[in-house]
Structures are given as structure tokens and as C-alpha cells.
Amino acid sequence: MNRIFLPLLLALALSAFGCGDKPAQQADQEQPAKAETAEPIRLTYANFPPPITVPCVQMERFKEVLEERTGGRVQVETFPSGSLLKSKNMLRGVIEGQADIGCLSMSYQPGVFPTMTAVELPLGITSSKVASQVLFELYETLKPAEFDEVKVLTLFACPPSDVMSTAPVKSLADLQGFEIRASGTSGRFIELLGASPVAMPMPEVPDALQKNLVKGIFTSLEVMKDMKFAEFCPYMTTLNGPVYVFAVVMNKAKYDSLPDDVKQTLADLGPEQAAWTGEYWDQHVLDAIEWSKAEKGAELYTLTAEEQAAVAARTESLTDAWKASASAAGVDAEAVLAKVRELKAKYE
């Protein structure tokens, strides 16, 4: 009798204390559940220019930091060069969930971002770092309706625009009728100086330059190296023009589905990433200028003090034009401008 009842009693006692071997079927059912909780949160991140350019360098840095700070629980797959979404459908694509995260240039879509484009006005912002910090804090303070359909993760701006050209632009006289690629506020800025702006996203510029559709480009000078413009645009002219403004946005439903600690990591990363990108970009422009001169024999011209004063005077009207269009879009333009000026004074 003992031979039959003792093992049975032992088994019953062990299972009552929960320390016996689990039935094989139950153990099998639990294993997939464990694997599920260990599965990382996967996010896609779309960007429009080539991988070597600053908007994509900041994307890779954002990915690395987010993955590291979440201990690998978040994994980001990056898509540069418009391989998932191109510049003009970036915002719509993120709203519709074709990408979880997207990097967009607000300057490419005049009128769509009536508040944030105030940072592009010629108000004397001198660097990408200042512009990026102003942009980020402006957004955080005002939370303008133009981004209501997405979650904004970070914002940044390129350094003030200068000219790169196939023929020397040594003075304002050389700019007259000069066909030059420039979009948004930068386009209107250079037009007021007598040039003929042609708008197009950055990825289309190499082709346009090679086909002689434009004779130069008005943007931050690091593309002399990154986009190899020094090869066919060896002349640079400092104009200290407008910055172009960018936003990194996330699909709202995807963001809402994230755990609270990941949301907090993103909130902390936003302003830090803006400052990091600005600082990196400013330094990268200086490096690219030196590289273009040393490696490609490029030349850098600066305007005389009188011409610089003339540039400021001739482009002043941009601020009134922005006020009119922002007000027409329902924005309190005076309040936005006052805030931009206050933030500029804080960060410059």
C-alpha cells in the first residue's frame, strides 16, 4: 500500500505548496507569454536626405540614445534618403502611420506652419544651436495648432544660410538675376536681394546644379562637403540669411501606446537633442568650410559692412509679410514675435 500512496501523497503536498513540477502542457503555454514581454518596441523613423547629411546624423544619434536609455526595450529602424517617406509627404505619412517617426523641413511647405516659421525671420539669430533651442522652447511654450495631429519629439534648425555658387558672388551686384536654389523664407530673402530663387528639396539639388537649372544654392555651408557641392560650386559668400526649421514628429496613436517611462525618456531627450544637433551643425559648417578650401580650392567671400547693412534693410519687410500671413492663419503674430525675440536674447 505504501508503494502506491506515498508517492501520491508527496505529489499532492508539493502541488499544494506550488513547488512541484508543472504539468508539461501548462509549462508549454507559459513560454510564449514570457517571450512576448521581452519583445522590444519597434519604431520606424523616416528621413528625406542622404545618410551623410546632418538631419540623418541627428536621426542616428536619436536612435542610439533612445535605444541605450531604454536598455534596448525600444528599437528604432531608420530610413534615410526618402526610402520610406519623402520630404513633402512626411507629415501626412506620419499622421497616417506609414512611419512611426518622421523628420520634416517646415521650410519646404510655406503656409503649413504659420507659427514656427517665425524663427526663420531675419531677427539676427547667429547659429544653429541658438535657433534650435529657440525653436524647441517656442514650441513647448505655445504648442501651436499646426502640430495638433502628431506628437513633436524634437525640433532643430540649420545654421544661417550662405551662398554656394558656380560663379563668384563677391558683391550684391553679382546676385542680380542669379538663379539660385532656395525655399520658403530663404527664397523670399534672396529675391529681395535681386536673385531669382528656385524652390526644391535638398535631394533634388545636385541634379539641378549639374543640369545648370540653378547656378548656386542658398543654405548652410556644410553641404559643400556632405553633398559634394564643393566639386561644382567652389565659391562661397557669407550672407547670414535665414535658418531652415525642422521638426521630428511621431504618430500620435503610436506615441500614446508607449509605456510611461519611455514617454519620459523621449521628453528628456527632446530639448537635449535640439541643442546637440545645433552644436554639431555649427561645428560641421566650420569644418566643411576649411575642408572645401584645403581640399577643393574653394573661396569664401564676405560682403562689405555697407552691403551687410543693405542686406538687413532690404529684407526687413519679411517680418511684416510673415505677420500678415500668420495673422490671416489665426496666429497672434505679435505675441509669437515677442516670444521669439525673448528666447533669442535668452540663448544668444
Q: Which residue, 115 or 185, has its beta carbon nearer to ligand DTR?
A: 185
Whose grid coordinates read 510611461? Answer: 260
Quote the least distance from Cβ 299 to ligand DTR, whole Å: 21
C-alpha to C-alpha distance for 345 and 268, rounded to whole angstroms:
23
C-alpha to C-alpha distance for 262 and 70, rounded to whole angstroms:
7
Q: Does 244 bind ligand DTR (CB under 6 A)?
A: yes
Quote the least distance from Cβ 303 to ligand DTR, whole Å: 20
Report the site for ligand DTR in 259-318 (rule: CB under 6 A): none
Q: Does 59 bind ligand DTR (CB under 6 A)?
A: no
Quote the least distance from Cβ 158 to ligand DTR, whole Å: 4
53, 115, 132, 315: which one binds ligand DTR (CB under 6 A): 53
Q: Which residue, 202 or 233, has its beta carbon nearer to ligand DTR?
A: 202
58, 70, 78, 105: which one binds ligand DTR (CB under 6 A): 105
44, 49, 239, 326: which one binds ligand DTR (CB under 6 A): 49
The x, y and z cell numbers of residue 199, run together, are 524652390
Q: Are strands 299-302 and 235-238 parallel, antiparallel or unpaired?
A: parallel
Q: Does 117 bind ligand DTR (CB under 6 A)?
A: no
DSSP SS3 for 340: helix
Report the site for ligand DTR in 180-199 (rule: CB under 6 A): none
CB within 8 Å of 79: residues ≥ 6 apart? 44, 45, 46, 47, 85, 99
DSSP string of 286-328, one letter each residue: HHHHHHHHHHH--EEEE--HHHHHHHHHHHTHHHHHHHHHHHH
Contact of 85 with 99, CB cutoff 8 Å: yes
74, 99, 155, 223: which one binds ligand DTR (CB under 6 A): 223
CB within 8 Å of 235: residues ≥ 6 apart? 163, 164, 165, 166, 167, 168, 169, 216, 298, 299, 301
Stretch that binds ligand DTR, among 38-46, 47-55, 208-216, 248-256 (CB under 6 A): 47-55
43, 45, 46, 55: which one binds ligand DTR (CB under 6 A): 55
Residues found near ligand DTR in the complex (CB under 6 A) = 49, 53-55, 105, 158, 202, 219-220, 223, 244
